[in-house]
Amino acid sequence: MNASELRGKSDAELAAALEELLREQFNLRMQNASGQLGDNSQIGKVRKNIAKVKTVMNEKSRSGKGHT
C-alpha cells in the first residue's frame, strides 16, 4: 500500500480501508495470543499501513482548512 495510491482515494474509501485494516490488526492480535500466528512481521506491516491511511486522512482534512 503506497501513500500515493491512498492519496487518490476518496474520504469514504480511506475510511473503509482504515476499518478493514483495524479488523485485520485485531484478528492478527488474536491469532498471536492463541499461538496460531506464524509470521509476526504481519502485525508490524498492518500497523504501518494503518499509520499511512491515518496520515493521508489527516493531510486531506488539513488541506481543506486554512492554516493560521
- Number of domains present in the structure of the chain: 1
Q: Mean pLDDT of all residues in the chain?
A: 93
Sign of CA pseudo-dihedral 47, 52, 53, 58: positive
The answer to whether 50 touches 18, Cβ cutoff 8 Å, is yes
CATH number at residue 29: 1.10.287.310
Per-residue pLDDT at 65 exceeds 90: no
Per-residue pLDDT at 18 exceeds 60: yes
**pTM of the predicted structure, to 2 decimals:** 0.88
Per-residue pLDDT at 67 exceeds 60: no
Residue 47: partners with Cβ closer than 8 Å, 6 or more residues away = 25
Q: Residue 34 is part of which domain span?
A: 3-61
Q: Averaged over 24-35, what is the pLDDT?
A: 97
Grid coordinates in use for 33? 495470543
Q: Averaged over 10-34, what is the pLDDT?
A: 97
Domain membership flag for residue 68: no
